[in-house]
Amino acid sequence: MAMAEKYGPIFKLKVPGGTRLIASGPELVEEICDDTRFDKRVGGGLAALRKGAADTGLFTAETDDPLWHRAHNILMSPFSLQAMRDYMPRMVDIADQLMDKWDRLNEGDEVDVPDDMTRLTLDTIALCGFGYRFNSFYRDTPHPFVQAMVRTLSESQARARQLPIQTRLKIRAQRQVEEDQGFMDDLVDRLIAERRAEGEAGDTTDLLGRMLTGVDRQTGERLPDANIRAQCITFLIAGHETTSGLLSFALYYLLKNPAFLERARAEVDEVLGDTASPTFEQVHRLTYVRQVLDECLRLWPTAPGFSRYPFEDTVLGGRYAIPAGTTITVLTPALHRATSVWGPDAAEFNPEHMAPERLAAVPSAVYKPFGTGQRACIGRQFALQEAALVLGMLLQRFDLVDHLDYQLVTKTTLTVKPADFRIRVRPRPGVHVRRADTPAPARSVATSPDTAPAAAPALLVPRHGTRLTVLFGSNLGTAESLATRIAEEGAERGFDVTVGALDDHVDDLPTGGALVVVTASYNGTPPDNAAAFCDWITTAAPDAARGVSYTVFGCGNTEWAATYQAVPELVDAQLEKHGGHRVHPRGEGNAAGDFDADYRTWHGAVWSDIAEALDLPEEVGQAVPSGPRLSITLTNRQVSNPVIVSYEAHPGLVRENRELVRAGADGTPPERSVRHVEIGLPAGTTYQAGDHLGVLPRNAIDTIRRVMVRFGLDAGQYVTIIPNSGSHTHLPIEEPTPLLGVLGSCVELQDVATRDNVAVLARHTDDPEQKAALEALAGDDEASHAAYRDQVYAPNRSVLDLLDEFPACHLPFEVYLDLLPALRPRYFSISSSPLVSPDTCSITAGVLRAPARSGAGTFTGVCSTHLAQLPVDGTVFVFVRPPSIPFRPPENPHVAMIMVGAGTGLAPFRGFLQERAALREQGVPIATSLLFFGCRRADQDLLYADELAAFEAQGVVRTESCLSAEPGTTRRYVQQGMLDRADEVWDLLQKEAVVLVCGNASTIAPGVRTSLAAIFRERTGAGESDADAWLAGLRAGGRLVEDIWGG
């Protein structure tokens, strides 16, 4: 850029192998972008990526290559407006993984922005385009494909700067390139083979599906396999390199410009609110975010140049003679900084440069971040949609911290991006996103082959038989899709419908009925299936459209301002010029704005106008009710999880998940976390107050990652397990099962290693010293028992912990998997009553997070951590189990309850009190009960304080809070509270009250029994043995019931 500033709008640069012209002047570039005079030059790094005639992707092929035309025609559809809408759930799927990673960072952790953006964008194009998961966020190092790709790109750029003799002499580099390209080829070949094996069940709408099944309409030919492989690799490279750079630049410039950051965030908060999974419509309403991205592309187009050559000798700008075939490289960063176009602040970041009204006045040739003409990037809308989605979600959830005061330094491979750009992030205070709708699955759900075809829709208006012809011109498929929809609506309104391409109706316009034309433009030229029609209509006889009643809807994109709506305007004007009668105004759909709103505006009166023009019954033009258009049968092809099956667990939907513990009034942070989780029960599941909810958790992703790193596994792998002995196993067998599913939902990864486990590890250890140490833990002598107890059992060390400590243990993965016990459900007292919420129950879960007993890091509870992280509308597998003892409210509501619990031991009593309150509201007389509840501080962990106060105000219960760490007071536990209110306790006991205790078996339960015995002795004067007998009688009579754990 410095040279462009010094030498002007065009200059000559010597490069290895010759000279090259570099152009950046807007007037010159406008000429260079003329497709009738110039074409794309494939050279430099792009040329180095080619291997053979068939091994050229869209970006690396020459324009006159028939394979380029064939591939281009086939691949237009996967980048249509409808395709972008279909890709959104998959884009959100991957974006969520980035959000989860950043959300779980520790304070002070750094984010390598370009690295994370590369992981994100690679996974997005792989999933959306090919149905493949690289699972980059589950890896400590980049996927081998990325490593191979980076080396290949680096070498291709190096070759572009070398003399040919230098390239030939770099034998080692050439071997590495061949190895890397071979690896990439093998991976893509595997993807292709797997998709072919899926047959009709495979996705036919993504990039890979289109390439395998698509037929070029012009030639009737498919793509050869070698070209499909080349296209896949091209899209994987280009489809993530550009977008990752764009997002990195966007975060950099927003960090350095707080005012623009706040404006973008204000828009995000208004449009996205607290929605966790943005919709297609929401993302396309982020107009200022889009301006930010466009401005980044102006300053740093991630592909910093494109090369062209003239077909013939020509003169540029009236003064520069250019011989035919001369390569001219357009330096886009310099072009985009032209002060004559963008003003004196052209080199500064200011999203107002990209305001719609200002951009409309800018010549199209001066903004070329995605190349130009027919060779412009086919995936630009994909990239911009992904970038807007991700930037919006990041601004919605995180504050960005420039702790290093980063100064921009760029690096270049195939694209440009910031180098060594590191920041810190922290969740925005007070911002909690909610999952409004469960995203659609990332791969299509295949219907059963024997699913009955959908019945034809019943006519909604009596058939009148008037002719309706709907013609389209479409490369991307959007116009064709709209035409098909209009044709279906016409049939429902009683028309006799014909639908087809414009080219199929050259000199064959309907002179009766109505004609609806839906067409797009492609760089100002007609779509492939409308070119002949446009040629004909412009030269047809003056009366060629006489008697034709027509309307036109155009599909376009104002980002191509110079040619926006060119073909729809032409068709509309020519039909009128040749005698046609316009019955409804031409409509314009802008894919860069709210296309759906544009279409609805045009569509609103189209049927009434047609009906009026053709003198049809009024009902033809009226709105018709829309019923279901399809009948489907879904089949679940997931491999069943034996653990889930064995407990008869079913998915429940999380309806609420909130924190119950607060910071103290003096700002003291809480020492623990307790979650209130409400779960919508599976259909047909019922419960009673006092029941337990069994929850099947998932192992933490960090623990799973440790396993995969230890055994060198790939998160995208499937595993097929075959029992060699035919014995029963808790693992899914004889079917390919996702490895992440097995490690996440089938086995316990954190259980303490047994002595037998340790003995197995010893047998697979080849280092004598480490082998002896393991054997010393697994022996049968007293010393070994003590060593095991002190070094394994007491510190709660798992098999995985021991593998980390004894690296010389070469345990096969199948042996490791066999050592792991089945995943166990965790049981929680239900803290709600079915009288209040019959299809939803709640649980109260203390989140276990404490220093590991082993002294290494932090130990987190498997289930409590899983529950804490579940989003609203997330799924968890649950089942209801009655307690093994009759721990329920007395059936007779006139019998009072004396309830005693601490911490989460309050859970069942909340349900009991809900039940009594509901009965009271129904007019049933109830006895007032007594609750002793233990916590540390009233302002921190007095759980459900407002609800308890409400129950007390209603006369349902009297409460006594016993605080063990309240500032300025002495410790007080529930057993002391019972003694302090001994008169009330004794009075209720005399009235046949039931004592219900929930809590720890070694602390609360014996303490309550001691207090009860003391109250009995004091009131009766009896001795200790009599008190013991009295307690035994209470227990035998069901009046002292304990739901206890631990101890």
Mean pLDDT, rounded, for 407-435: 84
Q: What is the pLDDT of residues 785-822, one digit of tens each?
A: 899 989 998 898 999 999 999 999 999 999 999 889 88
For residue 543, give both structure tokens. 């009366």
Residue with tokens 């190096």: 158
For 62, other C-beta atoms within 10 Å of its C-beta total: 15
For residue 317, give both structure tokens. 């700008």
Mean pLDDT, rounded, for 360-389: 87
Give the residue from 62, 76, 55 showing the smallest Cα distance to 307: 62
- What region does 258 belong to: left with phi over 0, alpha with psi -120 to 50, or beta? alpha
Rounded to the nearest integer, the mean pLDDT of the chain is: 86
User: Which pLDDT band, with edges at 50, 70 and 90, does 900 fall under?
Assistant: very high
For 120, other C-beta atoms within 10 Å of its C-beta total: 24
Q: Please count the residues of the chain.
A: 1047
pTM above threshold 0.75: no
Per-residue burial over 432-447, b if 16 or more Cβ lie within 10 Å, else e, is ebebeeebeebebebe
- Is 525 tagged catalytic? no
Mean pLDDT, rounded, for 512-525: 90
- Is 370 tagged catalytic? yes
C-alpha distances (whole Å) from 425 to each of 401, 536, 654 are: 6, 60, 28
User: Which pLDDT band, with edges at 50, 70 and 90, does 356 fall under?
Assistant: confident
pLDDT recorded at residue 715:
78
> Which candidate in 242, 327, 372, 469 is catalytic?
242
Q: How far is CA 542 from the centre of its chain?
A: 56
For residue 429, give both structure tokens. 């205070």
> Which candidate in 128, 296, 377, 534 is catalytic?
377
User: Which pLDDT band, with edges at 50, 70 and 90, does 1030 fall under?
Assistant: very high
Higher-confidence residue of 1041 and 433: namely 1041
DSSP string, 570-601: HHHHHHHHTT-EE-S--EEEETTS-HHHHHHH
C-alpha distances (whole Å) from 130 to each of 72, 123, 188, 585 are: 17, 10, 9, 41
pLDDT recorded at residue 446:
28
**Residue 639 in this model has a pLDDT that exceeds 70:** no
Helix/strand/coil for 748: coil
| Nearest-5° Cα angle at 796, 883 to 755 | 100
Give the residue from 620, 466, 462, 491 showing the smallest Cα distance to 549: 466
C-alpha distances (whole Å) from 950 to each of 164, 241, 844, 953, 959 are: 84, 58, 19, 5, 11
Rounded to whole angstroms, how far apart are CA atoms 150 and 503? Answer: 45
**Residue 573 in this model has a pLDDT that exceeds 90:** yes
Rounded to whole angstroms, how far apart are CA atoms 1045 and 825? Answer: 15
Burial of 340 (0-12, 13-18, 19+ CB in 10 A): exposed
Residue 783: DSSP 8-state: H
| Nearest-5° Cα angle at 459, 605 to 480 | 55
Helix/strand/coil for 21: strand
pLDDT recorded at residue 993:
95
Rounded to whole angstroms, how far apart are CA atoms 896 and 916? Answer: 10
**Residue 630 in this model has a pLDDT that exceeds 50:** no
Q: What is the pLDDT of residues 723-766, one digit of tens each?
A: 765 455 778 887 888 888 899 999 999 988 988 899 999 999 99
Is-contact 935 902, C-beta < 8 A? yes
Percent of the chain at pLDDT > 70 equals: 91
Q: What is the pLDDT of residues 196-226, one digit of tens each?
A: 877 655 566 788 888 888 887 778 888 888 8
pLDDT recorded at residue 80:
78
Is-contact 338 366, C-beta < 8 A? yes
**Residue 493 in this model has a pLDDT that exceeds 80:** yes
Residue 438: DSSP 8-state: P
Worst-scoring range by mean pLDDT, 479-493, 640-654, 747-761? 640-654
DSSP string, 354-400: G-HHHHHTS-GGG--TT--GGGS-TTHHHHHHHHHHHHHHHHHHEEE
Q: What is the pLDDT of residues 21-72, one digit of tens each?
A: 999 999 999 999 988 899 998 865 545 555 544 567 776 788 788 888 888 8
Q: What are the structural domains, with CATH classification, of the chain?
A: 2-427 (1.10.630.10), 470-621 (3.40.50.360), 643-663+671-826 (1.20.990.10), 897-1045 (3.40.50.80)
For 218, phi then psi, to 5°, come to -80, -35
Residue 825: DSSP 8-state: P
pLDDT recorded at residue 230:
86
Mean pLDDT, rounded, for 166-195: 83
> Which candidate in 38, 130, 260, 370 is catalytic?
370
pLDDT recorded at residue 161:
66
pLDDT recorded at residue 635:
34
Question: Which residues in 474-556 belong to E strands, given as ranges?
Answer: 496-501, 514-520, 549-556
pLDDT recorded at residue 637:
41
**Residue 241 in this model has a pLDDT that exceeds 80:** no
Sign of CA dihedral 71, 73, 74, 77: positive
C-alpha distances (whole Å) from 781 to each of 487, 776, 784, 788 are: 84, 9, 5, 11
- Is 339 tagged catalytic? no
DSSP string, 261-310: HHHHHHHHHHHHTTBSS--HHHHTT-HHHHHHHHHHHHHS-SS-EEEEEE
